[in-house]
Structure 1
Amino acid sequence: MPAIDNRLTRMSALRREGRHAEALPLLQQLFADAGQAMKPARSTHFIIMLEWKFLADAYAPARAALQAERDGQIRLLLAGEHAFVRHDSGRPQAGDMSRFSLIVEMNDTLGDARSTADLFAQLDSSAPELARQYAWQALPAIVEAGNFALADRYRRAPLEHLETVNALAASQPLFPAPGMAPRLATELMNLVKDVRIAAAVLRGQGQATEADALYAALLAGLADDAMRALALRELDAPGSITADIVKRQMEQEQLS
């Protein structure tokens, strides 16, 4: 993807200047190029999608464009194109970014959990092997729909990644420097999501005591107070970690 850093910088500057109509086509081109790249950098993808969130919040045509792109990605997924990456061989490879993940991310930005739930229901019926692969990402939408039996079938052990998060905390900051993906914060957010989903399923099945015990086990098991405080906020208000990332990004922009 040629000169993506320069184009990202230009697009971000246009957005900050309020020149949204100029920023949107550049953002769309960056996104399209990412889908055609060989192994696009995840940090670049994160920045592109974060910029689209900023732009969609401020500019209605950007939101409409994101909805249209989301619908196109759903069509590609259902047509059998499961990876958001190009290979000369045309065959998926280990480590590819999944198209389903991208769709969920878009729906999160759009606040459209129903789209995720509906898409997962199609996969559950027509491609159960894919449903098993993608379930952890769809579970919040399934729980929101109140289908606790389906969620219970697909949810994973909620604390299985606790040790991984604690190990990562020894070498990664919660909020890294600008231009770097917030890996630890993202992994912590995923861990909290697993716990929150499991607790919601337990509560939905009348097991409130077990749900409370699961929350307590998560908070007791985290390695430091900073992660514990962030996890507690995320449990109480899902999206808090993402909001912190966005806030810090905006503060860094103002200082630059």
Structure 2
Amino acid sequence: MKTPVRLLLAALALITLPAAHAKDDEADKALGDARAFTDSGEYAKALERHEWYHKNALRINRAQYGVRLSFALSDWKDLADKYPPALASLKAIRDADVKELEAGTGKPETFHNVVSINEKLGEEAASVALFKSLDAKQPALAKKCFSRADKTLLNQGEVELFTKYGGGFVSYLEGEIANHEHVVAMMKSTAVPMSARSIKNSDERLVATTLELVALATKQGDATTVTKLKTLAFKSVPDPRIKP
């Protein structure tokens, strides 16, 4: 089973970040400069560096994929909280990607950009609306984008749309458990700083996903599924919150 991009993000961000900084390529320098300019109050310069990094990072080094949609966007949002033009710029990039998707020229990676930005902005409902549009007009693309939308659909209670692409709750969780164990094994096999933290974060994501699924199954009055979900997840992560 393929590991969804969203689960690889955390692991890849931690694995590639130290290597990328050691390489000291242009992308790393731009992101570092953006942080330094933000700290020194030179917000216009910081914004220029963020814009440059977002546009060029993957061209320079594909290993920047995870950092670009996680740490870098978090830094950009921090800047946007202090400097309104940074917020306008981030939204403009997001809106351009949305138009590209709606025009039928976007890719799953484009959708991932939008979802990641919306998450930082607290605008997950907009991601759901976009996915619904793809579902109605471009179902083939929606299918390819589902692995970037599933968590948002769950969080927003879009059960019908979620199950259309993700299948039943139990089969979906089985896939999540397999992906979680893959990430954990990968992190344990590498001598990467913060690998223990990454594993803990993966544990927490699996518990959170299980609890979301349990809540939805409970709402549907499906006690059998609730028990199956807890039993499966507890075997992988023996957390008292999901004990059967």
Preserved CA contact (<8 Å) 1:4 1:30: yes
Structure 2: unaligned runs, 5 residues or longer: 1-24
Deviation at 1:145, TM superposition (A): 4.6
Q: Which amino acid aligns with 1:135?
A: F
The verdict on how the C-alpha distance between 1:144 and 1:190 changes in structure 2, with shifts beyond 3 A counting, is closer
Give the equivalent residue in structure 2 for 1:220: 235
Preserved CA contact (<8 Å) 1:139 1:155: yes
TM-score by length of 2: 0.69
Preserved CA contact (<8 Å) 1:151 1:201: no
Q: Which amino acid aligns with 2:97?
A: Q
Instruction: Output one character per residue of 1:36-78: Cα deviation in whole Å (capped at 9) or x when no partner.
Output: 5574632442442232133234433322221121111111122
The verdict on how the C-alpha distance between 1:190 and 1:126 changes in structure 2, with shifts beyond 3 A counting, is farther
Q: Matched residue pairs, number?
A: 212
Whole-angstrom distance in 2 between the partners of 1:15 and 1:175: 32
Whole-angstrom distance in 2 between the partners of 1:196 and 1:137: 19
The verdict on how the C-alpha distance between 1:208 and 1:113 changes in structure 2, with shifts beyond 3 A counting, is farther
Give the equivalent residue in structure 1 for 2:103: 79
Q: Which amino acid aligns with 2:126?
A: S
Structure 1: unaligned runs, 5 residues or longer: 84-96, 236-256
Preserved CA contact (<8 Å) 2:58 2:64: no
Q: What is the SS of the residue equivalent to 1:98?
A: helix
Preserved CA contact (<8 Å) 1:143 1:200: no
The verdict on how the C-alpha distance between 1:139 and 1:200 changes in structure 2, with shifts beyond 3 A counting, is farther
CA RMSD of aligned residues (A): 3.5
Instruction: Output one character per residue of 1:102-145: Cα deviation in whole Å (capped at 9) or x when no partner.
Output: 11111100100111111011111111112222224323443455
Listed as ranges, the matches of 1:1-256 within 5 Å are 3-34=26-57, 39=62, 41-45=64-68, 46-83=70-107, 98-156=109-167, 157-172=172-187, 177=193, 184=199, 188=203, 191-192=206-207, 194-207=209-222, 210-211=225-226, 213-222=228-237, 228=239
TM-score by length of 1: 0.66
The verdict on how the C-alpha distance between 1:109 and 1:152 changes in structure 2, with shifts beyond 3 A counting, is same
Whole-angstrom distance in 1 between the partners of 2:152 and 2:143: 15
Q: Give the structure with the higher percent helix.
A: 2
Whole-angstrom distance in 1 between the partners of 2:204 and 2:105: 27
Identity of aligned pairs, percent? Answer: 23
